[in-house]
């Protein structure tokens, strides 16, 4: 048995829809639609909305409009001290991406490593060790600018190319990113293969090297286990959860991976458990409906579908 902690009173949701949710979409989504989605997500009360990625447009064409997105957000929300209530982290795989992000007005960035060598090669075209070397100058410059850096680790519960991943390997990278200065480490179940017991075993290993309140969980829902895994993680003291509105998402370099856990489903569960998240479910459902309608896609959130079905047409 894994030792459990009391449930947290508040859970911070990191909305990754505009980034993880859209990066895998084949049809180009116009910048105005992305900005409208972000506006609606903020309107629902979310305090962290991952806005885009400063990656190569050849690798992720959908996010090639990162400058446009950030310049609009900058103008509206990030001027001067900006609106302190919402953070818009962006992904930066290397110094070039970091420098572009800073120029575009980003006030927070995220670096992304993997616990699997093969995935690292496919996703960012370098080994895990090389990726750590690439992140070092980003963390150094971010420190000088007093800019928070989030750290992701992919494939923490399995890899599309290597299968099982040893939890010691994940813990080693988590410790490394934390020591390098990441203020939070998000543990990515990129292909959604984890189960609650595996989730708890992994967290028990990592909490010895990174404090539990500096860890976040990031579940894709390929096998329908995401919500159960989140509950198992909350039992271990996790209080930061990544999610994507309408369950959009997937990594273009993880074949067969489906969307992230739907933010609506997470909020419904938290509401039911009397855990605060600061998010208004009804407004969030509208945001998910907006983007699902645009993509002409069935809404990936069961909660949203149930709520929308009950609304008068």
Among 31, 56, 141, 204, binds ligand HMG (CB under 6 A): 56
Nearest approach in angstroms of CB 178 to Mg ion is 20
Residue entry with tokens 């993997």: 114
Instruction: Please confirm, yes or no, whether 251 is among the known catalytic residues.
Output: yes
Query: Which listed residue (52, 167, 190, 277) binds ligand HMG by CB under 6 A?
Result: 190
Could you tell which of Mg ion, ligand HMG, none binds residue 88, using a CB distance below 5 to 8 A set by kind?
none
Answer yes or no whether residue 124 interacts with ligand HMG by CB under 6 A: yes
Residue 241 in the binding site for ligand HMG (CB under 6 A):
no
| Interface pattern 73-92 for ligand HMG (x via CB under 6 A) | ------------------x-
- Here the tokens at position 167 are 């939890």
- Quote the CA–CA distance of 33 and 219 in Å, as a whole number: 25
From candidates 44, 120, 123, 258, binder to ligand HMG by CB under 6 A: 123
What distance in Å separates the CA atoms of residue 239 and residue 7, rounded to the nearest whole number?
8
**223 Cβ partners below 8 Å, 6+ apart?**
192, 193
Three-class SS state of 48: strand
φ, ψ of residue 163 to 5 degrees: the values are 75, -130
Task: Fill in the DSSP letter of residue 107.
Answer: S
Among 17, 18, 19, 20, binds Mg ion (CB under 5 A): 20
Decide if residue 188 touches ligand HMG (CB under 6 A): yes
Query: Closer CB to ligand HMG, residue 96 or residue 143?
Result: 96
Tell me 6's DSSP state.
Answer: P
Q: Which of 159, 115, 114 is nearest to 257 (CA)?
A: 159
94 binds ligand HMG (CB under 6 A): yes
Q: What six digits make up the tokens of 251? A: 């990594």
- Helix, strand, coil percent content, the chain, rounded in steps of 5: 45, 15, 40
Catalytic residue among 155, 159, 182, 251: 251
Q: What's the rounded Cα separation, in Å, for the pair 150 and 185?
A: 6
Q: Residue 254 Cβ, how far from Mg ion at the closest point, in Å? A: 8
Please say which residue, 88 or 305, places its beta carbon nearer to ligand HMG: 88
Minimum distance from residue 291 beta carbon to ligand HMG (Å): 17
Site for ligand HMG (CB under 6 A): how many residues? Answer: 25
Among residues 24, 54, 5, 19, the alpha carbon closest in space to that of 242 is found at: 19
Binding site for ligand HMG (CB under 6 A): 20, 23, 53-56, 59-60, 91, 93-94, 96-97, 112, 123-125, 152, 154, 188, 190, 218, 220, 251, 253
Binding site for Mg ion (CB under 5 A): 20
Catalytically annotated residues: 251
């Amino acid at each position: 048995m894994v030792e459990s902690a009391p449930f947290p009173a508040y859970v911070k949701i990191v909305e990754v829809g505009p980034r993880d949710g859209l990066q895998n979409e084949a049809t180009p989504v116009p910048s105005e639609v992305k900005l409208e989605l972000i506006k609606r997500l903020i309107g629902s009360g979310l305090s962290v909305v991952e806005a885009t990625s400063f990656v190569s447009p050849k690798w992720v064409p959908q996010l090639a409009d990162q400058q446009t997105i950030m310049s609009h957000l900058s103008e509206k929300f990030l001027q001067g001290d900006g609106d302190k209530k919402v953070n818009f982290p962006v992904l930066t795989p290397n110094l070039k991406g970091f420098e572009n992000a800073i120029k575009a007005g980003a006030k927070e960035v995220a670096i992304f490593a993997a616990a699997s060598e093969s995935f690292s090669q496919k996703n960012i075209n370098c080994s895990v060790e090389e990726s750590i070397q690439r992140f070092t100058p980003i963390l150094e410059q971010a420190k000088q600018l007093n800019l928070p850096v989030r750290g992701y680790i992919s494939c923490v519960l399995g890899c599309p190319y290597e299968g099982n991943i040893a939890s010691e390997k994940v813990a080693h990278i988590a410790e490394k990113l934390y020591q390098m200065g990441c203020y939070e480490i998000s543990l990515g179940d990129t292909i959604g293969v984890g189960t609650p017991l595996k989730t708890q075993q992994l967290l028990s290993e990592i909490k010895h090297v990174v404090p539990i309140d500096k860890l976040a969980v990031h579940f894709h829902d390929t096998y329908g286990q995401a919500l159960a895994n989140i509950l198992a993680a909350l039992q271990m003291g996790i209080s930061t959860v990544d999610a994507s509105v309408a369950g959009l998402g997937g990594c273009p370099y993880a074949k067969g991976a489906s969307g992230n856990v739907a933010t609506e489903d997470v909020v419904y569960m938290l509401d039911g458990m009397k855990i605060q998240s600061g998010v208004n479910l009804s407004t969030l459902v509208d945001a998910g409906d907006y983007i699902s309608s645009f993509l002409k896609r069935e809404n990936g959130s069961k909660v949203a579908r149930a709520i929308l079905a009950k609304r008068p047409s």
